[in-house]
Amino acid sequence: MLFRSLFVLSGFGKFQYTFDSQKETDELMRKLAMDFAFLIRLLNPSRVIIAVDDKSWRKSIQIEENEGYKGHRKQNEYINWDNVFGIYNEFLEIFENNGMIVTKIATAEGDDTITLWRDELLFNQQQHVILVSGDEDIRQLVAPYMSNEKKKIFATVFNPFMQGKNAARKLYVPEKYFIKWLNEASEGDIWNMNAAIEVDKGDFCRIRDTEKVRVEEINGLHIAMKKVFCGDDGDNIPSIYTWMAKTAKGDDKEVRITNAKFEKIYESLQNSPNELVDHYDLMERKDKIKQGIHKFAKHDLPFDIEERLKRQIKLVVLDKTLFPKKIVEDFDKTKEEQLAKPRPDIGGINMNSLLQGTRYVKASRGGTGSGDESSIFKEIDRLSSSKQLF
């Protein structure tokens, strides 16, 4: 979310801003507040949680084919990153002061923290969860669940970012279950005897019907499996196997497990056409996987398939059983205290209310009203609609 706001504010990747000046860093704070306030109003959640990245434990996993997990990423040298992260940390403090939850766990990525919160809220608290992210990795956490009271609850993913012509924000939902649930009207819903379900459906319907929002059904488990075999270029994770082959002209070319190849291998792993295969099934079916890759590579694999599967699973699958134990223990120590925080009134949240009482928004005269923007905002209030993130 931070980098997307930074990207748009800076001129769509042109980096016209260096964030050396007070003016530019203050404008970044305003952009963050505007974007987060917009999302909160749109989704109307009962609580808001931000998951913050820490140095990733996955960087210690050796990848023989390249320089390692996210090893290809380089920071833009023209940006004053000290100032950018200074604003980011200040924004997180402001967010907490407004009653929101901010979670950072040592050696855990934001994706790991999101996974832990998803499990806690969906399975233990038995509440609907909307995960907000433009990162496609998070889609593997989309899942249905049946509560103890036999109520259908869901973890969904909302991607608020729109790119290109006719682009739309996307709400990713579990296939086969969510849309049917959303469209069905139970007797309790009709007579308003089950207000919680009715409110939840109403909020989801409002999100669905918002302009430029598209609902897309997906299978989170299948997405995770695809990443195990195909890798993730964005995180510098190679496919499970990459090899060299001769072209018709006799030239060497690099070949990898593509999406199409994965689908054929996945089909060979299924014991029945509708079976869902997840990472827990892969070890016992490793011989079939080895045979499937061999069909494409046309030679014996030069590595131990079990060790390669273990590596790929740890690198791409979001499952707390795969995380270092200390990450889960640290989360468990703090979650109750964080959940016990009084829930703020966020129904009418906006940029001014988020930044009220800070140097960015000065209190109005007489101590009433929502406050006036500081003079620096009056000077820099020139963000055109073409530069708005949402």
pLDDT of residue 389: 40
pLDDT tier, 368 (very low <50, low <70, confident <90, very high otherwise): very low
pLDDT of residue 371: 41
pLDDT of residue 185: 62
pLDDT at 390 over 50: no
The sign of the dihedral angle between the CA atoms of 219, 195, 121, 159 is positive
pLDDT of residue 193: 46
pLDDT of residue 362: 63
pLDDT of residue 380: 38
Q: Does pTM surpass 0.85?
A: yes
Cβ-proximal residues to 219 (8 Å cutoff; 6+ apart), any chain: 142, 174, 175, 276
Structure tokens at 321: 């059983």
pLDDT of residue 4: 82
Give the model confidence (pLDDT) of 291-339 as tens digits. 999 999 999 999 999 999 999 999 999 999 999 999 999 999 999 999 9
Cβ-proximal residues to 6 (8 Å cutoff; 6+ apart), any chain: 28, 84
pLDDT at 196 over 60: no
pLDDT tier, 14 (very low <50, low <70, confident <90, very high otherwise): low
Average pLDDT over residues 232-248: 91
- The four Cα atoms 287, 291, 297, 301 give a dihedral, to 10 degrees, of 30
- Can you point out the beta strands (E) in 118-237? 129-132, 143-146, 152-159, 169-174, 213-218
Share of the chain above pLDDT 70, in %: 88
At residue 22, the 3 state secondary structure works out as: helix
pLDDT of residue 359: 87
pLDDT of residue 187: 44
Cβ-proximal residues to 333 (8 Å cutoff; 6+ apart), any chain: none
pLDDT of residue 318: 98
pLDDT of residue 204: 94
pLDDT of residue 166: 78
pLDDT at 261 over 50: yes
Give the model confidence (pLDDT) of 167-191 as tens digits. 899 999 999 999 999 988 644 454 4
Only one residue has tokens 């990245």, namely: 53
Give the model confidence (pLDDT) of 205-214 as tens digits. 999 999 899 9
pLDDT of residue 363: 53
Average pLDDT, the chain: 87
Give the model confidence (pLDDT) of 26-82 as tens digits. 999 999 999 999 999 999 999 999 999 999 999 999 999 988 988 877 777 888 999
